[in-house]
A and B are shown apart, each in its own frame.
Chain A
């Protein structure tokens, strides 16, 4: 599967879905599917995408939250899956777009290229693992926490960049979620 097609399918008609995009290729994939104030694309803090998703899911239990991140980013924060497993947020899905490579640094192989099983780790931590075909249902209406690994081709494709400034990305996201009072609280 091609990564941009996979992310496009997950985000099609996304409505009020809140999205955290892990740094690198998954942030570009989410932007290619359509930049949105309801997406928080990361440019750093590698390993923290899933935890930002957890914080968001706990703070907004009535909203659906989707973390879209890469295999390298997920590997840097494996402990997050244990932490999510303890909290059991029903409204959170973590989707790992797994090309088995570090795409931004020269396409070195990640651990998943050598058989490390991210879905197995997530399952052992208490997340509900679903197939890609079931992912939309899990994301938009299932009782989570859900986890999906999408195996994709390791391809070099054009960058589609979101805004870079962190404070701007934070402020626009909060306004979109919380309304005009976001800046006054």
Chain B
């Protein structure tokens, strides 16, 4: 089983019903799996911060959710993470990284390198997965931490695992 399938299995097993996403090539397979899962509502967002509102509303209504984005999207959610912290909303954010290992687009670098300090400054617990076999257990632990301890948890999925090394490869996805 590849890591996107393994993540989907963890989300499903934890009872996640709502999955908000801004598409990223690294999340392509997981987004497809969430869309075809009859027990999940996959919600395409126009910007990542919408996913925070969506997750908060779902939890107010008693449902668990997950939020999928690329590292650039972390910059879009900063202020809204203030609500997550103040209200102690549980939140699981799965971030596919750009601007780190082997990046080919220099415009990705500044935000990619700022992801961890920005999230930590806003009170989000950051966990990092850079081996395929570790992704599922780390997501499993993130879901338990978020929903048992009312925490905001982000799992950063290393660019090494995404494996895209050029614009041409990205376009061919």
- Is B62 positioned at the interface, with any CB of A under 8 Å from its CB? yes
By a CB distance below 8 angstroms, the chain B residues around A87 are: 41, 43
Closest Cβ of chain B to A142, distance in Å, is: 20
Nearest chain A CB to B38 CB, angstrom units:
14
Interface residue? A34 (CB, 8 A) = no
From A53, A165, A174, B62 is in contact (CB under 8 Å) with A174
B49:A83 contact, CB within 8 angstroms: no
Whether A55 pairs with B47 at a CB distance below 8 angstroms is no
Tell me how many residues of B have a C-beta within 8 Å of chain A: 32
Are A79's CB and B62's CB within 8 A? Answer: no
- Report B72-86 CB contacts with A as 1/0, cut-off 8 Å: 000000011011001
Within B100-128, the residues touching A (CB, 8 Å) are: none
Of B17, B50, B88, the residue contacting A51 (CB under 8 A) is B50
- Look across to chain B and name the residue whose beta carbon is closest to the beta carbon of A79: B46
* Cross-interface CB contact of A59 among B44, B47, B57, B83, cutoff 8 Å: B57
Is B83 in contact with A185, judged by CB distance below 8 angstroms?
Answer: no
In the assembled complex, 17 residue pairs joining A and B whose CB atoms fall closer than 8 Å, in A order, are: A40-B60, A43-B86, A45-B82, A48-B49, A52-B57, A54-B57, A55-B65, A58-B43, A77-B50, A86-B44, A166-B83, A166-B86, A174-B59, A174-B60, A177-B61, A177-B62, A182-B62
By a beta-carbon cutoff of 8 Å, the part of chain B in contact with chain A is 17-18, 41, 43-47, 49-63, 65, 79-80, 82-83, 86-89
| A residues neighboring B (CB under 8 Å) | 18, 20, 40, 42-60, 63, 77, 79-80, 82-83, 86-87, 165-167, 169-170, 173-174, 177-178, 182, 185
